[in-house]
Each structure stands twice: as C-alpha cells, then as structure tokens.
C-alpha cells in the first residue's frame, strides 16, 4: 500500500486527509468502525477530477462520529457535498444525512452492511467457510482473545489480524489485501458498533431513510458476504430516489478487485459526473 501521507504531507490532519484542490465537493468515509485509511486509493483516484476529503473517524460513539463528520464538512467541504461511504461508512453517511439533509447532495453506499437484522445472520458463517482450516482456527482464536484481553494496544493488534483474515474472505480476486496505512482502533470499533447494531436491531436505522431526500446509489459486489438483498430490498421501501448496482465477480471492496475495479470506477465517476 502506498504511503499517501508522504505524497500529501501538508494536507494530513488528525482526523482529515485531503486530495486534489478546493473546492472539496466529495468526501469518502471509511468503515470499521475504527479502521481508518483504507479509502485512500478511492480518494486519490477521484482527486484527478475534483477535490476530495477523507475524514478519519476518531470519536468513540455514534453521536460523536456524526458530530465529528459535521464539523469536518462544515469547515472544509463545499456544501452540499457528495458522500461516498464503504461498509460501516455507508451506514454512517446514511445516519448523518438523515440528521443533516441540507449538507448532502448525493449518497453512494459501497458494500453496505444489511439494513435489517435478518439479513446479517450468515455473514460470519460465510466468512469462516471461505477461509482455510488453519485460517478459520486463527479467526476463531482472535475473536475469543478479543473478549479476554484488557490492553487496548494488544486488542488493536488482534483486531488488525482478524481484519486481515476477513478482508481475504471478503475478496473475490484481489489485486492487494493490504488495504490501510493506519492502525485500527479497537475501542472505537467496540463502542460505535454496539450503538449501530442496536440501531439496526430496533428498526430505527432503516426508518431514518424516510428523512433522506437526496438521491442514493448503492454499489454492491455479488461475492460480498454482506448480502446484497439486505441493502436493496429494505432501502427500496424507504428511499424516494434509490438506485442499486450489483457488480459481478466483486467482493466487499470493489477498488481492490481485478475484475470489478475498472467498472466500479467507471460507475462512480459517471455518477459523480467526472471526466
């Protein structure tokens, strides 16, 4: 993975990286929660046509991350902005837009988690089945250890190792499995995911879609263990302007996929109306 900080040293802040030149009309939002930095390749690719922000989530609560994104955008973006969120980041921008609709011109959800609990039941099972027997034992061991460790730094290391295994399981035919240049943060993952999971389980996550007025595009890989129907079916019932695109031979992160990468960027740039 390239070190994007060395290429843009003056544009890197604690919770924000920027690419290209102002005005910044686009922001890419990473997933995890607590896995910053992996959308840097997308930001860099899009920055050839316009200014792109890459906010990094540093707050350890859902409300804190919403407020942090609000502050980053109001101080740096050309509002209303186009938001592109991957995985957990797709949920975050969905929730954010429901709360701050005037801030957002367009939502693009990439590899989003399912919006209803019933669609999430087999995600872990699918991931484990795709790993080798040795990798499966390692993943189960890491998941157990995370419950027992007390040191946050150790938990960061274990979560990173577990994330690497799941990145492999999530990918169809990847160009790379090295997806980030920043350290994962377990305390952010644990706290924010608890808030988000409760929101989905209660049904409130999906209901927020009724407050979203801007167009929404969901891009999903057909090999993504997060089931596509868990995004397409629920969102089609609550969003006024919704489009869903399924990418063939594509896993959770389209930009690392050999067969889907070019088509993904073509769709993305066309939707953003970039040359």
pLDDT in tens, 62-108: 999 999 999 999 999 999 999 999 999 999 999 999 999 999 999 99
**174 secondary structure, DSSP code:** B
| Nearest CA-CA partner of 88 in 173, 205, 3 | 205
Question: pTM of the predicted model, to two decimals?
Answer: 0.91
Q: Are 80 and 38 in contact (CB under 8 A)?
A: no
* Helix or strand (DSSP H, E) at 218: strand 216-221
Domains of the chain, earliest start first: 4-271 (3.40.50.1820)
Mean pLDDT across 45-57: 92
More confident call, 47 vs 183: 47
Residue with the two structure tokens 């390692």: 138
11-39 pLDDT, tens digit each: 335 789 999 999 999 999 998 877 888 89
Sequence-distant (≥ 6) Cβ neighbours of residue 150 within 8 angstroms: none
Which two structure tokens, joined as six digits, stand for 57?
Answer: 């989530």
Neighbouring CB atoms inside 10 A of 190's CB total 16
Task: Give the up-direction half-sphere exposure of residue 198: CA atoms within 13 A in the CB hemisphere.
Answer: 8
Instruction: Estimate the crossing angle of helix 152-170 against helix 186-202, to 10 degrees.
Output: 60
């Amino acid at each position: 993975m390239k070190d994007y900080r060395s290429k843009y040293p003056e544009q890197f802040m604690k919770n924000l990286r920027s690419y290209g030149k102002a005005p910044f009309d686009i922001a890419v939002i990473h997933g995890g929660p607590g896995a910053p930095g992996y959308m840097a390749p997308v930001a860099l690719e899009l920055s050839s046509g316009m200014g792109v922000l890459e906010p990094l989530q540093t707050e350890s609560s859902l409300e804190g991350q919403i407020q942090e994104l609000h502050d980053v955008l109001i101080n740096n973006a050309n509002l209303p902005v186009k938001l592109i969120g991957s995985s957990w980041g797709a949920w975050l921008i969905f929730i954010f837009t429901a709360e701050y609709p005037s801030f957002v011109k367009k939502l693009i959800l990439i590899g989003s988690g399912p919006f209803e609990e019933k669609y999430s039941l087999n995600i872990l099972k699918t991931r484990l089945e795709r790993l080798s027997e040795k990798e499966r034992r390692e993943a189960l061991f890491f998941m157990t250890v995370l419950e027992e460790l007390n040191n946050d730094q150790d938990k960061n290391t274990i979560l990173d190792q577990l994330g690497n295994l799941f990145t492999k399981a999530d990918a169809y035919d990847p160009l790379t499995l090295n997806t980030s240049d920043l350290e994962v943060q377990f305390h952010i993952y644990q706290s924010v995911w608890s808030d988000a999971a409760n929101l989905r389980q209660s049904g409130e996550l999906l209901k927020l879609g009724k407050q979203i007025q801007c167009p929404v595009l969901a891009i999903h890989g057909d090999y993504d263990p997060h089931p596509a129907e868990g995004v397409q079916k629920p969102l089609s019932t609550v969003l006024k302007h919704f489009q869903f695109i399924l990418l063939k031979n594509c896993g959770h992160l389209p930009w690392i996929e050999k067969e889907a990468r070019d088509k993904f960027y073509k769709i993305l740039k066309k939707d953003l109306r970039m040359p």
